Amino acid sequence: MSGLNRREILEGIGVFSIVASLIFVGLQVNQSQRAGEGQELVSYLELAGNMRSVLIDNAEVWQKACAGESLNSVDRTRAAQLFKTYIEFSYLASVTSRVGIIGDGDAFLVNRVAANLHRYPGFAKLAAEQGQWTNEGERAMDDPNVRSFREAIVVRLAELQEIEPDPDYDVMWCGM
């Protein structure tokens, strides 16, 4: 072998090694991304299960609050915290859906919150009392993701105002 052939062979081996390393790194990144998405899905499902448990454990107060019935001070506090928990869950689920973990769930979640605001007078009252949809100066509104989620709900709510609430919906579905 001449010096030139040996050099070309070594350069070829070097290029092949670099390409092989890049392919390996790409596969590792892809595998890590899929594992991360799987973990996010598990976290979302746990969060959704916890949210359902909280609503089930407090179903009587939640249904009365959604219907706009009068509540004693303890139940008003409980209802306010349930509402806040529901909104936080919906927002976190919406953010999760934006990164593709639960598909195109963002529109579903926006629609669900807007429909609850539209259909259930007590739910809308809880929102107004907590300033969720009226207080632009709220600190959380500084976050563009929170602002975007809120704005999408306001737009969908305006669309829903054009139609009558579905009379087949029952208060037991509030928040679902």
pLDDT digits (tens, 9 = 90+) for 56-70: 898 899 989 988 899
Which of 37-46, 58-67, 76-85, 119-128 has the lowest average pLDDT?
37-46
CA Rg value for the chain: 25
Tell the residue number behind the tokens 């052939």, with chain if given: 5
Model confidence pLDDT, tens digit, residues 136-163: 545 555 677 778 888 888 888 888 888 8
For 71, counting Cβ atoms within 10 Å of its Cβ (0-12 exposed, 13-18 middle, 19+ buried), the class is middle
Name the CA dihedral angle for 101, 102, 105, 109, rounded to a multiple of 10 degrees: -100
Q: Would the pTM count as exceeding 0.75?
A: no
Model confidence pLDDT, tens digit, residues 86-127: 888 888 777 765 544 444 556 777 888 888 888 888 888 888
Tell me what pLDDT residue 86 has.
86
d(C-alpha 1, C-alpha 24), whole Å:
32
Q: Which two tokens stand for residue 170?
A: 């029952």
d(C-alpha 122, C-alpha 174), whole Å:
10
